[in-house]
Amino acid sequence: MFRFLTAGESHGPGLTIMVEGLPAGLNVSEEDIKIDLQRRQKGFGRGGRMKIEKDHAYFKSGVRHGLTLGSPISLWIENIDFKNWTDAMSPYPVDESVDKKEFSKTVPGHADFVGALKFKQHDLRNVLERASARETTSRVAAGSLCKSLLKKLNISIKSRVLSIGEVTSDDIDQKLENVDWDQTEISEVRSSSKNMDEKFKDAILSSKRNKTTIGGIFQVVAFNSPVGLGNFSQWDRKLDGKIAQAMMSINAVKGVEIGNGFANTKKPGSEVQDVIIPDKEDRRNFKHITNHAGGLEGGVTNGEPIVVNVAIKPIATLAKPLPSVDINTGEIIEAQYNRSDVCQVPPACVIGEAMMSLILTESIIEKFGGDHIDELIMNFSNFIKSHNEFGKK
Ligand code: EPS
């Protein structure tokens, strides 16, 4: 069984990641992980924190001479900002005179209100530190390890920003095979259309000027997934459900759409089903002429690209705070303001890629098994080969 766990507070000493169930013999490197960590740190609209952090994940176990051992892999990412928080975030008891950076002014839309009541915390920092999106660094590190496995199977994952606030990309209806994914990597706002960079940046700048924040929609696509991941036989085995849960778990995400989920509701059934045709050049011998279903039918991959669109709300922490309540006195106050980002949609793309990688890896390991990567690849290849028998009678 594949699983992963993360631990760590935003301003604590660092982040710990545990990944269990990857096969032995897989080539992994800190430098590969760093590429994704750096991609997540970028993005127009980030706050001051990203100037401090230089995220690097160190292998602490489960890897020897660059190869996985099949044992649990643990990783450690240092929070460089901890040097400014050593007393406030110390794991050990501190003197009464120490500034613990406590606060009790709740922020509407943040986890601090529910967390305070749930965990009986009178210092909201005890909630904020773990609820912070700093945790997503860990997911990106774990997801990056999974990308090494997916690469062996020729599966790749891409992401881009579709909209920021009211501004929607002009290539939103572009066929996936024509999307300029390379442009996304050089764009400060992870846009696949050059025309959109300034427009998205203007929207972010305008939010900053208005001392508010701005959300958007991003897209994650997995290319070259085999047919047959996930299972329609039981509700909790459906892959679309697992992907939706994984995306929804990203901080501030409030909506997940598979394929053209919402647009399909406005069309007749005859226009939204993806017609299947024979295709001798394809490894499955079949293909769909459209992909409205986003690569998933009955919760099972159908071999088309897996397409997920994710709605992420504007960050709760506002430079011009909303009215709120003090959790300890019950008084009406102005919400707490801490340094924060204005727009997190571009980095959220990279986090979405990580979540997709983790879910696909789990599903691939479940289906193809194997304790060594060679065994997994053999099982995978045999399954793909068996598709040659279909459609030939
Ligand atoms: C975050 C608040 C900000 C963000 C942080 C998430 O951190 P700070 O309070 O230190 O300025 O920069 O994001 C990260 C640290 C990160 O690595 O993405 C929050 O409250 O969620």
> Cα(62)–Cα(17) distance, rounded to whole angstroms?
12
pLDDT at 230: 98
Beta bridge partners of 7: 16
| Alpha carbon nearest to ligand 1 atom 15, residue | 134
Residues of the chain with pLDDT under 70: none
> Cα(221)–Cα(268) distance, rounded to whole angstroms?
25
Q: Where are the alpha helices (DSSP H) in the chain?
A: 30-41, 49-52, 112-119, 125-131, 136-152, 181-186, 196-209, 239-248, 269-272, 345-368, 373-386
Q: Which residues contact 212 (CB under 8 A, 6 or more apart)?
A: 314, 318, 319, 320
Tell me the whole-structure pTM to 2 decimals: 0.97
Say how many Å lie between the CA of residue 54 and the centre of ligand 1. 13
Class of domain 3-390: alpha beta
Atom of ligand 1 nearest to the CA of 136: 18
| Alpha carbon nearest to ligand 1 atom 14, residue | 134
Say how many Å lie between the CA of residue 161 and the centre of ligand 1. 20
pLDDT at 284: 79
Backbone dihedral angles phi then psi of residue 154, each to the nearest 5 degrees:
70, 25
For a mutational test of ligand 1's pocket, the pick from 9, 49, 312, i.e. the residue with the most ligand atoms closer than 8 A to its C-beta, is 49
pLDDT at 381: 96
pLDDT at 322: 97
pLDDT at 387: 87
pLDDT at 47: 86
Where do the structural domains in the chain lie, given as residue ranges?
Answer: 3-390
pLDDT at 393: 73
pLDDT at 285: 87
> Cα(80)–Cα(37) distance, rounded to whole angstroms?
14
pLDDT at 340: 86
**Residue 307, helix vs strand vs coil:** strand
For a mutational test of ligand 1's pocket, the pick from 340, 344, 345, 349, i.e. the residue with the most ligand atoms closer than 8 A to its C-beta, is 340
Residue 49, ligand 1, Cβ within 6 A: yes
Q: How many CA atoms lie within 13 A of 312 on its CB side?
A: 31
pLDDT at 15: 98
Q: Which residues contact 307 (CB under 8 A, 6 or more apart)?
A: 176, 219, 220, 221, 258, 259, 291, 294, 295
pLDDT at 13: 98
| Closest listed residue to residue 164, CA positions, set 3, 16, 364, 345 | 345
